[in-house]
Structure 1
Amino acid sequence: MRVDFHRSLPGLALVAALTLGAALPTAVPPSPTTPHGTVPVAAQAACVTDPATPKRQFRGMWIASVANIDWPSRTGLTAAAQQAEYRGWLDLAQQRRMNAVVVQVRPAADAFWPSTHEPWSQWLTGTQGGNPGYDPMAFMVAEAHARNLEFHAWFNPYRVATHTDLTKLAASHPARTNPGWAVAYNGQLYYNPGIPAVRAFVQTAMMDAVSRYDIDAVHWDDYFYPYPGSGGGFPDQATYAQYGAGFSTIADWRRNNVNLLVQEMSAKIRAAKPWVKLGVSPFGIWRNAGTDPLGSRTTGLQSYDAIYADTRRWVKQGWIDYIAPQIYWQIGHPAADYAELVRWWSETVNGTTVQLLVGQATYRAGASGQDAAWQDPAELSDHLTLNRAYPRILGDIHFSAKDVRADRIGAVSRLTTDHYRRPALAPAGVGGAAPAAPNLTSAVRGTGGVTLNWQRGTAGSTASYAVYRLPGDGSVDPCDLADARNLLGTVRASGSTGTFTDATAAAGSTYRYLVTALDRLHHESPASNARVVTGTGGTFSVIVDNTTTGGFTAAATWGTSSYLTTRYGTNYRFAEPQAVSDPAWFSATLPAAGSYRVEVWYPSDPGYNSATPHLVATANGTVTASVDQRSGGGQWRVLGTYDFAAGTRQVVGVSRWTSTTGYVVADAVRITRL
């Protein structure tokens, strides 16, 4: 169950019981030919990438408007104050290197835009139907896109009000003009999903926003039929008698009503705007294996049976473009283990085109009254680490924005450091095609950094650009673009030209810059031609041997040998592989922030390790590079070029944590400023 509403309004405390079990295809045109001088991206599948800096990862947060949970913070704010608050949420998303926001625009059969079908939302002005003095939807979409954040418009299909009094609704509200559509249940008003006219109406109301605004996705959470209350079942027996012909049980009929909503809305969106995605964030459990052998090894509430949401079918039928189950439990939860549920959902989407995201319970981290696991700052980060074992998981959405900002016990900061160190492109969708590569016309160093200018490619539809910076000069290896190590950021396309200023460029460093183009569904072009910007610093190079005083440290588990004559200096260090890092570290004093080439020297032997992990502690986080020490020894071998901060620090570590056999060796490193 989405806990936004229920944890914010008194008298609706259903969360604990429920969460514990009692929370677009189109024809694809041929790819444009690769222009001379550009760098292809298709060959990157064979590259070794760093899982901590994925090139593509959906990163979003829910911005809830119901009960003023996140935005606006209260009713009655001026238009300028509302807009300033919203910009603040987008600033937060950018600070946490997110690439999407999921904003609630129809929380209760009302609207955050001038709808021709439903009244203005009460959460804007305090009065349902009250005009806020501007078009919030147009403003929100434009502001998100200016930052190249995807805007997912979050609608609640059937909730009408958080009370049961029709007379409290605006006089023009459809539930008042069609009182037979509304059902009072468990202290709230709902549209009756079993009435065909209701289903048609809510689709029309939502499609109004799809057709009029440049949104990237229609997003639903877990509210279809309401969660079971204490006062008996949902009172729609008369509706079943009227419309339920052909269904042997009311439960099957209810599920079919929701299936029709999903299927029909999907068809409408794809017919109107094929690039707009339909995403659903359901309750985390479909069914338990004890009830259904196709279910998960859990014992919690079953959304298939309780709220009539057959989410597994929606995936298998391809009616939706992404699914983001709310897996709001910790790893090891006895009734609903996070690890088990990500396994089950990964298997469920396998073989389909439906993208899998995970709804993360960021609101639990460090909050009072939560299980002890949620008092551990590593719990959220551990979720994303576990996700790496399931390649079908393409990202996460955090509930909610205020909890991302609160960063209780540093859990969000920990997650950002571990998983969001670099920007990331959104996962590519179904349909569409990569545009032609742009032409990078200039890269000029100035007082504010390095300013790039480019021209759009001549073929394809470009929606945005990705900007890359590689240390040093020379040719570009396509593998340099295979993950986000060198990704600086993204820019929304506007017109036939583009520009970007790299304010983080170190004055003393030489860089290569490249730009790629992406279509609306994030298919990436080949990279542009590279432009080199030369640094202004002097030459610096240092060699650190394993015998350098103060420059090398290793535990007693590392042996010393002078057996091989291809060593550097008098000896070298070696250790057996083991499932523990235990690194031997080379340290150096670097004179200035900037780009440095890192080289390693080792004596090679056919019996040594084929994938010795080298840990490079860059300014952007630790990067792992593997070296085959069976050959190529007795000389300097380039490990890579990396950005480092100034100062004395550990720079390169040789780790023992590898599954391959043979000694790992630490001999010497050379670090050269570019």
Structure 2
Amino acid sequence: MHKLFFLLILFLAGTTGLCASEPPATEVRAVWLTTNYGLDWPRNRTSVETQKKELTGILDSLKRYNFNTVIFQVRGRGEVLYRSRIEPMSTLIASAGPGQPLFDPLAFAVEECHKRGMECHAWIVTYPLGNDRHVRSLGARSIVKKNPSLVKQFQQEWYLDPGNPRTDDYLLSIVKEIISGYEVDGIHFDYIRYPDNRGRFPDDGMYRQYGKGKTRDEWRRDNITRFVTKVYDEVKALKPWVQVSSAPLGRYRALGGNGVGWTALETVSQDAGKWMMMGKHDAIYPMMYYKEGLFYPFVDDWLVHSNGRIVVPGLGAYQMIELGWSHRDILNQLEYTRTKGAHGKAYFRAENVLSNTKGILAELGKYYRYPAKQPAMTWLSDSIPNSPHDLRAQWNEEGVFLILPILCTV
């Protein structure tokens, strides 16, 4: 009896230790907060106040579980969620009413994230523009209507043409509008790729004009890399502290016979490993929504190509619904990426985590017991700031404890 009891204690100690180990002090804990179709937000379109309450509720929940990064979708397919001179506001955003200022979702999201000590990264869908019906719904402000020379239709969907150098200028104008007007912590690109290299994207004319002896695959990869280089340099010239990142396909390249058929490099002209090796990305959030042999070796491959940059594997929380994964599948991936020295995790998408799908949120609470710092972008600056001094501490009128500089008067 005593021997059995002793073995039971050892077993319990071993199993609880898996989750009880100290979490890293520095770690990205992110969610993609999807606004396309109102998947995560906004669910209700009745009023601005209702939409604000919905969003603060999401952020409160993320803060409660020590998440520190919100990747907030600010551009869908040719429409935006901020005050733009370039593209129309999403029809999902409620009207503020007669005589009231237009609700600015990005400004509100940035302010509310920062109140909670979380970073807010502006998530941009890069090249896709939607189908005919969606384009018509945007009216004369759609780029398809304003400047049809920049777009192509492929498999009943419209896309900005990556092969046209003037497309870079259009996208850069959107990025500069966001960077200049908002205190975002990052610019994050999604769909920064061709739709599918196995199809016949209609770029024959551009290829004849600009191909210059390259194979079509080489030329297409270079087109995306050209834009990545321009946008990185532009962001760093304006606000060097703003992180530039993207969400490439989860498998960078085929590894031997593994992963063939759907990779960033070979299938959609997305040479994301090169972007890091060139120093034109601060972070990569690959969409690694696979299991086992289609996950673990590809994490290692991203880390090989990181060049010291931040690697944050994207975990497919939604697959617990779509493919019947268990929460243990997600937790195994979390544990592996920690062991391998990845810089954190991002979850697609917010609702699949916050609704506690198959108990995932409760389990993540064990791994995220304490807050975590953001990884430093040491390639921008490796100097350590001076220690703070001349500070005072006080409670404000709202009962918040503040640390403030001592102001000298003459």
Does residue 347 (structure 1) correspond to residue 300 (structure 2)? The answer is no
- In structure 2, C-alpha distance between the alignment counterparts of 1:101 and 1:456, rounded to whole Å: 29
1:342 Cα deviation after fit: 1.6
**Structure 1: gaps (5+ residues):** 1-49, 292-296, 458-494, 497-674
- In structure 2, C-alpha distance between the alignment counterparts of 1:324 and 1:422, rounded to whole Å: 23
The match for 1:274 among 240, 254, 271 is 240
Preserved CA contact (<8 Å) 1:358 1:397: yes
Aligned residue number for residue 57 of structure 2: 88
The structure with the greater share of residues assigned to helix is 2
Aligned residue number for residue 395 of structure 1: 344
Preserved CA contact (<8 Å) 1:60 1:102: yes
1:166 Cα deviation after fit: 4.8
Does residue 324 (structure 1) correspond to residue 285 (structure 2)? The answer is yes
1:133 Cα deviation after fit: 2.6
1:455 Cα deviation after fit: 4.1
Does residue 111 (structure 1) correspond to residue 80 (structure 2)? The answer is yes
* 1:95 to 1:87, Cα distance in 2 relative to 1, 3 A: same
SS class of match (1:219): strand
- In structure 2, C-alpha distance between the alignment counterparts of 1:194 and 1:251, rounded to whole Å: 12
Aligned residue number for residue 370 of structure 1: 323
Does residue 361 (structure 1) correspond to residue 316 (structure 2)? The answer is yes
1:402 Cα deviation after fit: 0.8
Q: Between the two structures, name the one with larger relative contact order (CA 8 Å, sep ≥ 6).
A: 2
Preserved CA contact (<8 Å) 1:60 1:100: yes
SS class of match (2:158): strand
* 1:443 to 1:164, Cα distance in 2 relative to 1, 3 A: closer
- In structure 2, C-alpha distance between the alignment counterparts of 1:228 and 1:73, rounded to whole Å: 35
Preserved CA contact (<8 Å) 2:252 2:301: no
1:132-147 maps to which residues of 2 (within 5 A)? 133-147=102-116
RMSD between aligned residues: 2.6
1:416 Cα deviation after fit: 2.2
The match for 1:184 among 153, 160, 164 is 153
Preserved CA contact (<8 Å) 1:380 1:415: no
Q: Which runs of 4+ in 1 moved over 6 A?
A: none
Aligned residue number for residue 538 of structure 1: none
Preserved CA contact (<8 Å) 1:108 1:160: yes
* 1:115 to 1:214, Cα distance in 2 relative to 1, 3 A: same
* 1:363 to 1:52, Cα distance in 2 relative to 1, 3 A: farther
**Structure 2: gaps (5+ residues):** 1-19
Counterpart residue type for residue 437 of structure 1: P
Aligned residue number for residue 427 of structure 1: 375
* 1:77 to 1:250, Cα distance in 2 relative to 1, 3 A: farther
* 1:77 to 1:233, Cα distance in 2 relative to 1, 3 A: farther
Aligned residue number for residue 150 of structure 1: 119
Could you tell which deviates more after superposition, 215-224 or 50-59? 50-59
* 1:157 to 1:452, Cα distance in 2 relative to 1, 3 A: closer
Preserved CA contact (<8 Å) 2:274 2:305: no
The match for 1:384 among 311, 315, 334 is 334
SS class of match (1:378): helix
Counterpart residue type for residue 86 of structure 1: L
1:30-69 maps to which residues of 2 (within 5 A)? 52-69=22-39
TM-score (norm 2): 0.85
The match for 2:360 among 391, 408, 411 is 411
* 1:414 to 1:192, Cα distance in 2 relative to 1, 3 A: same
* 1:340 to 1:177, Cα distance in 2 relative to 1, 3 A: same
Preserved CA contact (<8 Å) 1:438 1:454: no
1:131-530 maps to which residues of 2 (within 5 A)? 133-163=102-132, 166-227=135-196, 232-244=199-211, 246-290=212-256, 297-330=258-291, 332-333=292-293, 336=294, 338-349=295-306, 352-365=307-320, 367=321, 369-370=322-323, 374-375=325-326, 377-391=327-341, 393-417=342-366, 419-430=367-378, 431-432=380-381, 433-438=384-389, 454-456=403-405
Counterpart residue type for residue 281 of structure 1: A
Sequence identity, in percent? Answer: 27
- In structure 2, C-alpha distance between the alignment counterparts of 1:198 and 1:99, rounded to whole Å: 33
Preserved CA contact (<8 Å) 2:74 2:81: yes
Could you tell which deviates more after superposition, 198-207 or 131-140? 131-140
**Cα deviations across residues 386-439 of structure 1 (Å, max 9, x unaligned)?**
122212x1111111111011212112211221x101111111223354342356
* 1:81 to 1:191, Cα distance in 2 relative to 1, 3 A: same
1:218 Cα deviation after fit: 0.2
* 1:260 to 1:51, Cα distance in 2 relative to 1, 3 A: farther
1:54 Cα deviation after fit: 1.4
- In structure 1, C-alpha distance between the alignment counterparts of 2:256 and 2:277, rounded to whole Å: 21
- In structure 2, C-alpha distance between the alignment counterparts of 1:66 and 1:399, rounded to whole Å: 13
- In structure 1, C-alpha distance between the alignment counterparts of 2:145 and 2:175, rounded to whole Å: 19
**Cα deviations across residues 549-576 of structure 1 (Å, max 9, x unaligned)?**
xxxxxxxxxxxxxxxxxxxxxxxxxxxx
- In structure 2, C-alpha distance between the alignment counterparts of 1:424 and 1:434, rounded to whole Å: 19
Preserved CA contact (<8 Å) 1:164 1:187: no
**Cα deviations across residues 42-79 of structure 1 (Å, max 9, x unaligned)?**
xxxxxxxx9532111111111111121111115x3311
Preserved CA contact (<8 Å) 2:392 2:405: no
- In structure 1, C-alpha distance between the alignment counterparts of 2:31 and 2:134, rounded to whole Å: 33
- In structure 1, C-alpha distance between the alignment counterparts of 2:390 and 2:261, rounded to whole Å: 55
* 1:394 to 1:440, Cα distance in 2 relative to 1, 3 A: same
* 1:159 to 1:323, Cα distance in 2 relative to 1, 3 A: same
- Larger Rg over CA atoms: 1
**Cα deviations across residues 93-120 of structure 1 (Å, max 9, x unaligned)?**
1122101100000111222111111111
Counterpart residue type for residue 233 of structure 1: R
1:125 Cα deviation after fit: 5.0
The structure with the greater share of residues assigned to strand is 1
